[in-house]
Structure 1
Amino acid sequence: MLTIRRHLVDAIVEHARKDHPDEACGVIAGPAGSDRPERFVPMLNAARSPTFYEFDSMDLLHLYREMDDNDEEPVVIYHSHTATEAYPSRTDIGLANEPGAHYVLVSTRDEDTHEFRSFRIVDGEVTEEEVQVIDGE
C-alpha cells in the first residue's frame, strides 16, 4: 500500500495538468528504507510527448547524486497519461527499474476529473496497490 500525504497527491496532479497535453513525470524521494514519500521533485519530460515520457539523463544523474548525498531513495516515480487510463503501458513496464518504488500514474484524459493509481512493477509483473491519502505536511 502507498501511504501519501494529500499535498503530494495535489502536487502530482497539478504537475500533470500543467504539462498536459504532454506527459508529466517526476519523483518523490524519501529517507532510504522508510517507504515514506517526502520530497516532491517534478522533472522535465525530455521527450515532450503526449504519449511517452523520458527523464533527462543529466537531470536524473543530478537527482540520484542528490538523493545519495541525502540518504534518500526514489519512493514514488510518477508520470501522467494524457489520453488513456492510469495503467502502466508495455513501455512503462519495460522502463520500470526500481523494484522498491511505487509507480504512480495519473490520467488527465478528462479535464474535470483525474485517475490516481499506484502500482508495484517487479520483473515485468504489475500489481496495483491501494493508495491511502493522509492529511498533514
Structure 2
Amino acid sequence: MLTIAQETYDAIVAHAKRDHPDEACGVVAGPEGSDRAERFVPMVNAAGSPTFYEFDSTELLALYKDMDARDEEPVVVYHSHTATEAYPSRTDIGLASEPNAHYVLISTRHCFDEAGGNSDGPVEFRSYRIIDGVVTEEDVAITPPQQTQTV
C-alpha cells in the first residue's frame, strides 16, 4: 500500500493538471528503506509530449546525486496520462527500473473539455508496483494535512 500525505497528493495532481496537455512526471523521495514519500520533486518532461514522458537526463542525474547525498531513494515515480486511464502502458512497464518504488499514474483525461479548458472533472490517481514487467495495483492511503502547533 502507498501511504502519501494530502499535501503531496495535491502537489502531484496540480503538476499533472498544470502540464496538461503534455504528460507530467516527477519523483517523491524518501529516506532509504523507509517507504516514506516525503520530498516532492516535480521534473521536466523532456519529451514535451501528450503521449509519452521522458526525464531530462541531466536533471535526473542531479536528482540521483542529491538523493544519494541525503540518503534518500525514489519512493514514488509518477507521471500523468492525458487521454487514457491511469494504467501503465507497455512503455511505462519497460521504463520501470526501481523495484522498491511505487509507480503512480494520474489521468487528467476528465479534467479538461474539448477546447482544452479546465472542466473540474475528476482525476484518476492509482499506484502500482512494477517488478520484472509484472504490474500489481495497490491501494493508496492519503493521510490528512499535518496540523501545525502554535507555541
Other structure's SS at 2:36 match: coil
- Asked if 1:118 is matched to 2:113, the reply is no
Other structure's SS at 1:76 match: strand
* Unpaired segments ≥5 residues, structure 2: 112-120, 147-151
* Unpaired segments ≥5 residues, structure 1: none
Residue 30 of structure 1 is matched in structure 2 by 30
Other structure's SS at 2:126 match: strand
The 5 A counterparts of 1:1-137 are 1-111=1-111, 112-137=121-146
The 2-side partners of 1:91 and 1:132 are apart by 27
Length-normalised TM-score, structure 1 = 0.99
CA-CA distance at 1:136 after TM superposition = 2.8
Deviations 1:37-63 (A, max 9, x none): 000000000000000000000000000
Residue 116 of structure 2 is matched in structure 1 by none
The 2-side partners of 1:4 and 1:19 are apart by 21
How many residue pairs are counted as aligned between the two chains? 137
Residue 118 of structure 2 is matched in structure 1 by none
Query: Between the two proteins, what is the percent identity of the paired residues?
Result: 72
Length-normalised TM-score, structure 2 = 0.90
One-letter amino acid matched to 2:131: V
One-letter amino acid matched to 1:100: N
Rg: which structure is higher?
Answer: 2
**Structure 1: 4+ residue segments shifted above 3 A:** none
CA-CA distance at 1:116 after TM superposition = 0.2
